[in-house]
Structure 1
């Protein structure tokens, strides 16, 4: 960039980001706790540092704004100026402007400054107006406006809006609650930081992880040497007890065995020492490199106090944000992904959950609400919680909205438990609000939260109490590069399940299984939990292995809970996660792969896919049979898979088909439908078009491109009745195209019969 050194400009960006975080945190604290000289001092230093850095680059607009900010802060520290909410607003706006200016691209900054010269002067005038009674600091020589001054804008004109604050990830960790950022200490030689690209850091983590795995492969070699030593001792015993046929040969054999024993002892000791030192050093290397990816939780939430403060003022509410676990270490990738979900959760809490001061006082609560954001490590997982002490989730309003949206019939909605109702909150486009605002009501927030949590291999839980508040708990892996898993043997092969998604695992006597409506259940926390064969979910045998005891792995997601019957458990371990080959596409029930400590490939199961497959399999037929039960194969009826994201439509179509004798399974979207097709054999598929994750057109294409499924008849049932929509469906390979607005009971059944015949026909 002409006139400004690119390296210095990058340093300037980092310095502005760091000092802006300190200024924002400090100003918010001043607003709550009052102004003292001790609290003002680090803020003056931050403004002064920005001014000095801007002067080095000859950025006069930034110099002037930082200078008047310093004037105001000096006056406030001396008691000559009182910083009220409006004053804090002005200072925060100036901080935003400086931060936005610093992040303009290298080749665009000079043009940007010329374009926004009037804005810069307006911020300077507005900040300067706060200190009209204070004596201004003398401006150091050479810090004038410079050439090209634009005419001042009238102060009565609308103030420029500050640029949106950038991602809080660039900021330094703010101080703990209730404190102002302390003066920065000069780092020692060992504490100085160096710049390294994210790609290089990721490669270092990958290499360190592979080194750790390779070192563990030496352990079986050490065990093999120990086995040789045991064999040598047995051979010595046999020779000692054998009758001496040839004394010379026997003596020679004993001599050779003695030499072998000494050699084995020596090499065994060396190998044991190598394994011990190699494992120790590789683990230290891995932990040290991994620590480079870890960031304090505070780095990801530095912008949230400002967000909560501004939104609370906009909504006329009094809210205190308490952040706990600022020092908790989080993987950089996960921390970056957390910013948007936490933003949505905080906005929802402010807009939906927390009452106005008048409502809180009437309910016997303090006028100021408490909003908590917490992060901590527990059982090898990162747990992040957002909670408030507001009104809680209105279950009856939520139930009514579910019915109004056609997601459930009124009778069914009345039977839904709170946990089942909470799941509707995470559907795209779903909102309990009648009016849309710029804060919430569009239904585009909570689905982002769930998508991010599932993408990271985590779990999301919701709890709420009327009048007491709501709590969202995100359980995530501490790092995405290495995953702690439970190894289980399924159908003779070893698979890995993410430990963060497992609720419990253990053995259960078959006599404790309960049978209801043709399915089998066990008790878990007072609830009946369906037992499903893990082998069946992976396309192997359909029944749980016959034994006196079952080995069960309990998995959960939302309100869904299942017990997977496996052959056995092989313990826990950490695996270096590697993605599946992109050419495979999305493989049902599989999420990633890794290498075991022995260097063998392991497949890591996708728990969310398993839950969906288990639901589809369990609804279709009983998967777990007790060993003492007789297995009578009933006469097979034609089987139809209904794929639709509307619960009402699914139920209508299911009842129509079942009343005509067909066996029916259901899926909530194209991905779940595709997974069901990999697990079961169907005679026909009935699919909607517009669905999340995978639409009906893509599902039809996949079916028709699969050599095993291409002969399977598919009927599309859609609200769209335009000729081009019909043509699009038929071109994808659909055999029939019906519209939901016009099809009648007889029309749907007739289309099914035309394609596959009656339910019980051969």
Structure 2
């Protein structure tokens, strides 16, 4: 059969699969051999992998694959027989051969591949040199089956091939199922689990019915005893006896059915939980699956930068959801490359510092409190905070005075901003401003968080916390507007109860003190645009969320508990629902919306920018219950007093100012719902005051009314163009006109 006839699609697919598997064996073994060239087990494993690929390539008809694998096999056999010692240059060439064989297996045939094959083969032969001339004349045994060797070899020691699976998994049958069907299976098993929980309240209802029947029986027996001494006709006696017998029969039937239903609830609950746990466990893969190629990547990157780097891994067998692993690969790769490029110093510099010339990057994975905890640490130079500060000033993120007052945590937070890079020049590795912001964005998309710790000349530590699976989420369920909402636990800082007396007013906003830091207080109901339920408790439940270095306290109505929720994506036809990530059902079937905390932070930013926050009041729950406040600015005592008394008579709170400057100071010191101002005033006239208000981000949305003697059209237009919402001429002024205008702008004094 000719090579062309051998190029069957199924055979090529098999060769590709074998190339992928054997490449993993080669890469793992070669990296070990670079540190331990005499490791006989790894030499044997790598030689077998190359030999298998040579035989498989010959069967499929890939001559260039045979050529590369044969040259690799020669070099490895020479090392096995002690004719040469593997050096980094040998490892480089063998790793390139592993990459090239995979590319050939993926049917990427072009002139570039053939040129690389010839170049690499020549390099391998040159490295081999004259060490084993006998190999040139040995018969070619590559026509043997892929798993056969040219001569019998001794069985390998246990653990010689690190890629080999444990015996239990190796002997189990493997069934290939599409990811879509598998996700659908998990979705159905999760919904079955939640739906089955609804049998519990039904079971409780049946128990209540059973107790009620027993109570009815006792009442009937009491009635019978009471009627024993009275005369009853035969009909009444028969009806009484029949009723008693029917009740006893109902009790017996209910008892029998109740016992059966109790068993059904118990065993059914166990089975649905086991089904869901098994389906979920089937998605779980060892953390080592995301590490394929990372050791090789760090080794190659270190050599390209002239650095010696070793990757140490702990927790390779930590189980993680498949989807989390797939989405974790990119940010993890970025952090590892960052550690080599920015963290680990060149060998000469490390030696001058008294460190080992070889830098160490540690990657640790473990489970903690139902979360996946990852730590990426290096023993490099750490972060130069002075350089960070200079970069912050250069990019005009802050002034030099502000940078001097920043803490280390605040400075490090700038490293996560988009476009912020500490690299002095653009290279293939870094310097393009695509940095830690991408890592943080992807981690937050997975409902996780990332923190950076560093110590000068001791290295950096990135601490990542992520959910073990994206199918379920551990969440804090709260009540907002009488409805259930859930905050993913990984995305909130803490929960607390705040005494109403602890609320303070600061710069027009409500705050509270937490560990010597003031935290802004925001109504969660206003944020989600839902009606508020009044509460009489002396404390307010608070959910604390964090936006970089700034905290926000969201006031909710009640904490309903901590639950494990099965995610139910919203209907695609709804598009992206603001502030909401997904839906779920509580154990009793109550629907709950899972909040998107990143989206919530954006909404908080917009609300703060508008400057129209509702107060979390001391007396009510979170909705403002006090009268609306109006500031009257006029240099005429008579006009001020007239307007003040009119507004007070309608229930508004009123403050007064004698001119524009006095009014401007009052607006910046206290919150108001409406500004009423004259135009002609000393120090600052009304037009200037309105202009200042409209230019201030915090006051921009404040309603403004101008009340002036000037009644010309150009005066009216001038006031409205400055930003006034309403213009009222004093010439036509009367009580109801002012009050109607105020009500039009801000509504009743109390709502």
Stretches of structure 1 lacking an aligned partner (at least 5 in a row): 145-174, 641-655, 667-679, 685-749
Aligned partners of 2:719, 2:81: CA distance in 1, in Å? 84
Shift of the 208–241 alpha-carbon distance from structure 1 to 2, 3 Å rule, reads: same
Is the contact between residue 565 and residue 586 of structure 2 (CA under 8 Å) also seen in structure 1? yes
Cα distance, 1:389 vs. partner? 1.9
Is the contact between residue 384 and residue 456 of structure 2 (CA under 8 Å) also seen in structure 1? yes
Aligned partners of 2:58, 2:167: CA distance in 1, in Å? 22
Aligned partners of 2:690, 2:491: CA distance in 1, in Å? 35
Aligned counterpart, 2:128 = 131
The one of 16, 21, 36 equivalent to 2:19 is: 16
SS of residue paired to 1:757 = coil
Stretches of structure 2 lacking an aligned partner (at least 5 in a row): 145-156, 632-666, 673-687, 704-716, 729-744, 746-751
2:41 aligned with 1:38, yes or no?
Answer: yes
Aligned counterpart, 2:493 = 503
Aligned counterpart, 2:479 = 489
Cα distance, 1:252 vs. partner? 2.5
Aligned counterpart, 2:53 = 50
1:456-488 Cα shifts (integer Å, max 9, x gaps): 122121222222221222221111122222221
Cα distance, 1:660 vs. partner? 0.8
Shift of the 68–218 alpha-carbon distance from structure 1 to 2, 3 Å rule, reads: same
Shift of the 753–22 alpha-carbon distance from structure 1 to 2, 3 Å rule, reads: farther
Aligned counterpart, 2:724 = 757
Aligned counterpart, 1:456 = 446
The one of 72, 76, 98 equivalent to 2:75 is: 72
Is the contact between residue 661 and residue 760 of structure 1 (CA under 8 Å) also seen in structure 2? no
Aligned counterpart, 1:4 = 7
Aligned counterpart, 2:334 = 344
Aligned partners of 1:458, 1:183: CA distance in 2, in Å? 32
Aligned counterpart, 2:65 = 62
Cα distance, 1:408 vs. partner? 2.5
Cα distance, 1:202 vs. partner? 1.6
Cα distance, 1:180 vs. partner? 5.6
1:575-628 Cα shifts (integer Å, max 9, x gaps): 222322334333221111123334443211111122333355457346423229
2:552 aligned with 1:547, yes or no?
Answer: no
2:594 aligned with 1:627, yes or no?
Answer: no
SS of residue paired to 2:247 = helix
Is the contact between residue 23 and residue 43 of structure 1 (CA under 8 Å) also seen in structure 2? yes
Aligned counterpart, 1:204 = 185
Is the contact between residue 54 and residue 70 of structure 2 (CA under 8 Å) also seen in structure 1? yes
The one of 591, 595, 599 equivalent to 1:605 is: 595
Aligned partners of 1:337, 1:188: CA distance in 2, in Å? 25
Aligned partners of 1:499, 1:250: CA distance in 2, in Å? 60
Is the contact between residue 6 and residue 61 of structure 2 (CA under 8 Å) also seen in structure 1? no
Is the contact between residue 538 and residue 589 of structure 1 (CA under 8 Å) also seen in structure 2? yes
Shift of the 531–75 alpha-carbon distance from structure 1 to 2, 3 Å rule, reads: same
The one of 101, 114, 117 equivalent to 1:120 is: 117
Shift of the 659–315 alpha-carbon distance from structure 1 to 2, 3 Å rule, reads: farther
Shift of the 131–190 alpha-carbon distance from structure 1 to 2, 3 Å rule, reads: closer
The one of 661, 664, 669 equivalent to 2:693 is: 661
Is the contact between residue 490 and residue 534 of structure 1 (CA under 8 Å) also seen in structure 2? yes
Cα distance, 1:752 vs. partner? 11
Is the contact between residue 544 and residue 623 of structure 1 (CA under 8 Å) also seen in structure 2? no
Aligned counterpart, 1:300 = 290
SS of residue paired to 2:327 = helix
Is the contact between residue 20 and residue 102 of structure 2 (CA under 8 Å) also seen in structure 1? yes
Aligned partners of 2:459, 2:367: CA distance in 1, in Å? 24
SS of residue paired to 1:635 = strand
Aligned partners of 2:418, 2:719: CA distance in 1, in Å? 31
Cα distance, 1:513 vs. partner? 4.3
Is the contact between residue 65 and residue 123 of structure 1 (CA under 8 Å) also seen in structure 2? yes
How does 1:231-380 map onto structure 2 within 5 Å?
Answer: 231-242=212-223, 243-244=226-227, 246-380=236-370
Aligned counterpart, 2:550 = 560
CA RMSD of aligned residues (A): 3.4
Is the contact between residue 547 and residue 627 of structure 1 (CA under 8 Å) also seen in structure 2? no
Shift of the 544–235 alpha-carbon distance from structure 1 to 2, 3 Å rule, reads: closer
TM-score with structure 1 setting the length: 0.76
Is the contact between residue 361 and residue 377 of structure 2 (CA under 8 Å) also seen in structure 1? yes
SS of residue paired to 1:575 = strand
Aligned counterpart, 1:229 = 210
How does 1:389-404 map onto structure 2 within 5 Å?
Answer: 389-404=379-394
Is the contact between residue 657 and residue 664 of structure 1 (CA under 8 Å) also seen in structure 2? no
1:159-188 Cα shifts (integer Å, max 9, x gaps): xxxxxxxxxxxxxxxx99x98626667777
Is the contact between residue 481 and residue 532 of structure 2 (CA under 8 Å) also seen in structure 1? no
Aligned counterpart, 1:470 = 460
